[in-house]
Structure 1
Amino acid sequence: MPKFMFLQRGSCDQKPPEMTPEQMQAGMQAWMDWVKNGTEAGWLLDPGSPLSGAGAVVQPDLTVNDGPFVESKELVGGYSIVEASDLAEACELAKQTMQLAGGGKIEVREFANLSQ
């Protein structure tokens, strides 16, 4: 079955919403329920992780630059890996995930099957 990566993307200018401790706890519980349900159903292969703002870019000439860059309009904030029968099904799973993403959008990309 094909595998897909969900890339959580957000604007560089996007600030996280202000949340009470209760809202943060409810959000964490929703995330844990999503992971549990997806794992038990078999479509969630890797819940992924949020990504920090720190990073680097290795250039073709093998130099290393700090990144990601401010001039980017969007940053990747995290990822998940799922299994679905096709892109349409993966997008339906991403719609469920949207509620947990806290804004931004989710890019759905299929892993290339190089064994064919």
Structure 2
Amino acid sequence: MPRFMSLIRLDEQTSGRPGPEVEERMKALFEEITKAGVMLETAGLTPTSEGTRLTWSGGRLSATDGPFTETKEVVGGYAILQAKDKAEALEWARRFLQVHPEEWNITCEVRQIEEPPGA
């Protein structure tokens, strides 16, 4: 079965920590998706203030420590899913987004993982 990566993008300035109600809904969804054998891995990421960007440009490597204030949306988490097809992966992503508060602006980008040749 194909694997998919979902990248959770959010506005770090306006999206706070989810409250207990949201955490309960998310816990129930994660239990369901894990029991279905779809969730392989998931995690949130620390704030950009704790990150570093490495850039290769013009034959030179540079490093920039966070926070990255010029960026409106950041990757706040990810999940690796194993689904029968993209439609199933998108359905789980829709359900994930819907557990969040209505006032949040959050995006989930779903992309299939390329498998190595012969896998």
TM (normalized to structure 2)? Answer: 0.78
Identify the match of residue 56 of structure 1 among 42, 52, 58: 52
- The letter for the 1-side match of 2:27 is M
Instruction: Report SS of the residue matched to 1:59.
Output: strand
Q: How many residues align?
A: 111
Aligned to 1:14: 14
Cα distance between partner residues in 1 of 2:61 and 2:100: 34
Cα distance between partner residues in 1 of 2:55 and 2:67: 13
Cα distance between partner residues in 2 of 1:82 and 1:57: 26
Contact preservation (8 Å) 1:10, 1:75: yes
| Percent of aligned pairs sharing the same letter | 32
**Greater CA drift, 47-56 or 88-97:** 47-56
Cα distance between partner residues in 1 of 2:45 and 2:30: 14
Aligned to 1:112: 114
Contact preservation (8 Å) 1:4, 1:83: yes
Contact preservation (8 Å) 2:8, 2:107: yes
Query: Unmatched 5+ residue regions in structure 2?
Result: none
Q: Quick one: structure 1 residues 64 and 51, their matched pair in 2 at CA, closer, same or farther if it must change by over 3 Å? A: same
Instruction: Report SS of the residue matched to 1:92.
Output: helix
Contact preservation (8 Å) 1:51, 1:76: no
Cα distance between partner residues in 2 of 1:11 and 1:75: 6
Cα distance between partner residues in 2 of 1:69 and 1:32: 30
Instruction: Report SS of the residue matched to 2:29.
Output: helix
**Cα RMSD after superposing both structures:** 2.2
Q: Quick one: structure 1 residues 29 and 47, their matched pair in 2 at CA, closer, same or farther if it must change by over 3 Å? A: same
Cα distance between partner residues in 2 of 1:68 and 1:88: 35
Identify the match of residue 34 of structure 1 among 29, 34, 42: 29
Q: Quick one: structure 1 residues 97 and 65, their matched pair in 2 at CA, closer, same or farther if it must change by over 3 Å? A: same
